[in-house]
Structure 1
Amino acid sequence: MNDAWTQAGSRIRFDWGPAGADATGPGAALVAVIDVLSFTTALTVAVERGIAVLPYRWRDDSAGRVAREHHAVLAVGRKEVAGAGQVSLSPDSIRRSTGIERLVLPSPNGATIAARLAEAGATVVGVSLRNADAAAASVVRRLGAGEAVAVVAAGERWPDGSLRPAVEDLWGAGAFIAALVRRGAGDLSVEAGTALAAYRSVADDLTTALRDCASGRELRAYGFPGDVTVAAQLNAATAVPILTDGWFVAEPAPHECR
């Protein structure tokens, strides 16, 4: 690993995808993963409903086995949801669900990166536009003097499997970084500053930008405009998912901490 890629010396760092997580994560006290459409938005909706979420790479036979072993519900494909007992990566489906306590949530992007970071020993925070401010407050409380936070935009995939930098994740990262800066956690890498600038460029009309970006158009064409609407609800949630023993659970509110 080239030392320059780690962005060492900056308290707030930013990069893309699994390789970016590998570069910036090891030197950070906490790593924020952002996958706005839709893993971390679905994750935020789940934990605010009291659902523990296990991030999983693929929805395959092994995912079903893991779900059974943990007495959890396995998320199905978006168009496979048939009732309140089933959910998918669609945040809307999770908001409509009932009776779910544990959820195995596969995602080739956000979930894969979160699981990869956890295996490397990182403390992982799930961040979306919905909880950007609450997540920043949590991170600032946790950061010790001189400690750094790495911000990882998950991105999407091109048909050949290569990383497609997804602008909605850049904006989500920027919203989170903006909230960190407001709380005095500054000293941004150039990369983190670029994410912040990108967010500020759309902050006045974030809903329209999210709807009209490539991923937003794709989801709307696929029949899930509600997922884009939920994802655009800036700072509507106070739940902060923290990956603990393999499961994302909501961090206790500050007054509940011992």
Structure 2
Amino acid sequence: MTSPYSQHGFRAGFDWGPAGAAAVPGSLVAVVDVLSFTTAVTVAVDCGIEVFPYRWRDETAVAYAEQLDAVLAVGRSQQGITLSPDSIRQAQGVQRLVLPSPNGSTISQQLSDSGATVLAVSLHNTSAAADWAAAQLAQDPTLTVVAIAAGERWTDGSLRPAVEDLWGAGAFLAALADRGVTPLSPEARAAAAAYREVAGELPELLYDCAGGRELTEYGFPQDVAVAAEVDSSRLVPLLQACRLSASSKPSRFCPVT
């Protein structure tokens, strides 16, 4: 029997975290982690950098990066390339980047063997991602799309729904609806409605939400500013052969600040 949690029968769905990604299958799955994994991915791809998702920053990640002849992102408090999108913009001569994160990166890696086409979506590229996904859906009426908001973690390891990821997923789903992709599941409609409610107040609300305040208090307000660059990218990072790379060539050079 079909699971009641699968949102079966709808063209577009929505759920949260790794468990939601497992429960709600889709032909196309948009992973949304606005602060900061999918924003970092979008910035990297705009810079012509291939991103390799990885769950943890540990010894196995070091070996994985060496195997790929790639740079391993370090912790935010360290010098070098980190999960900070701003640090990626300042990088020089990097072609491949192993980017660990416990949320968006973990979900992307989890989905790599699912048979779904996985795309990285942030506020940076919601319109481009919706254009691309709507075109795929128009070509094949059997395809479905799901947006997965990565969320964050409380100290006990449980999921903390992050409103910035709800907005990012909702922006993508609202854009799909505007392009004629229907029907949306009740969950997807709720996410789209949440985005439409605040769309006119971004980027200001991104600074005021818990995730934005957290990054600002930790000394990374520029990462919030980068994440708030709505529709600044026309590229859609797709997960292919364990790497996230652009569906087309980078449209601009990576700016150095």
* TM-score band, normalised by shorter chain: over 0.9
Deviation at 1:2, TM superposition (A): 6.4
Q: Specify the alignment match of 1:54 in structure 2.
A: 52
**SS of structure 1 residue aligned to 2:19:** helix
The alignment status of 1:182 with 2:178, answered yes or no, reads: yes
The structure 2 residue matched to 1:153, chosen from 149, 161, 169, is 149
Paired residue type of 1:132: T
* Partner SS, residue 79 of structure 1: coil
Give 3-state SS (helix, strand or coil) of 2:207's partner: helix
3-state SS in 2 of match to 1:55: strand
Spell out the pairing of 1:109-120 with structure 2 (5 A cutoff): 109-120=103-114
State the partner residue of 2:12.
12
Aligned length: 247
Q: CA RMSD in A?
A: 1.1
Partner AA of 1:242 in structure 2: L
Whole-angstrom distance in 2 between the partners of 1:30 and 1:120: 11
Instruction: For 1:146 and 1:115, locate their aligned partners in 2 and report how far apart those are by CA, in whole Å.
Output: 25
Partners of 2:63 and 2:182 lie apart in 1 by 43
CA deviation profile, 1:215-241 (whole Å, cap 9, x unmatched): 000000000000000101110111110
Deviates more, 1:244-253 or 1:147-156: 244-253
Matches of 2:222 and 2:182, distance apart in 1: 34
Comparing 226-235 and 115-124, the one that deviates more: 115-124
Tell me how far 1:119 sits from its aligned partner. Answer: 2.2
Q: Does 1:42 align with 2:40?
A: yes
- Matched residue SS, 2:5: helix
The whole-number CA distance in structure 2 between the counterparts of 1:225 and 1:61 is 30
1:124-160 per-residue CA deviation (whole Å, 9 max, x = no partner) reads 0000000000011111122211321011000000000
In structure 2, C-alpha distance between the alignment counterparts of 1:191 and 1:156, rounded to whole Å = 19
Superposed, which structure 2 residues align to 1:58-137 within 5 Å?
58-81=56-79, 86-137=80-131
Cα distance in structure 1, aligned partners of 2:9 and 2:113: 25
Q: How far, CA to CA, are the matches of 1:186 and 1:202 in structure 2?
A: 22
Is residue 2–residue 8 contact of structure 2 (8 Å, CA) maintained in 1? no
1:246 alignment partner, one of 239, 242, 245: 242
Structure 2 length as normaliser, TM-score? 0.94
Matched, 1:209 2:205: yes
Question: Residue deviations 1:36-66, cap 9 Å, x none?
Answer: 0000000000011110000000100000000
Cα deviation, residue 182, structure 1: 1.4
Amino acid at match of 1:16: W
Give 2:81's aligned amino acid: V
Distance 1:43 1:220 in 2: 20
- The residue that corresponds to 2:136 in the other structure is 142
In the TM superposition, residue 23 of structure 1 has moved relative to its aligned partner by: 0.8
Sequence identity (%) = 57
Q: Which runs of 5+ in 2 are unaligned?
A: 250-257
Unaligned runs of 5+ in 1: 254-258
Range 183-192 or range 101-110, more displaced: 183-192
Q: Distance in 2 between matches of 1:191 and 1:213?
A: 21
Instruction: State the secondary structure of the residue aligned to 2:31.
Output: strand
Q: How far apart are residue 120 of structure 1 and its match?
A: 2.1
Cross-structure match for 1:3:
3
How far is 1:186 from its partner? 2.0
Matching residue of 2:24: 24
Q: Which deviates further from its counterpart, 59-68 or 112-121?
A: 112-121
Distance 1:232 1:247, change over 3 A: same
Q: Which stretches of structure 1, 4 residues or longer, exceed 3 Å deviation after superposition?
A: none
What does residue range 215-226 of structure 1 map to in structure 2 within 5 Å? 215-226=211-222
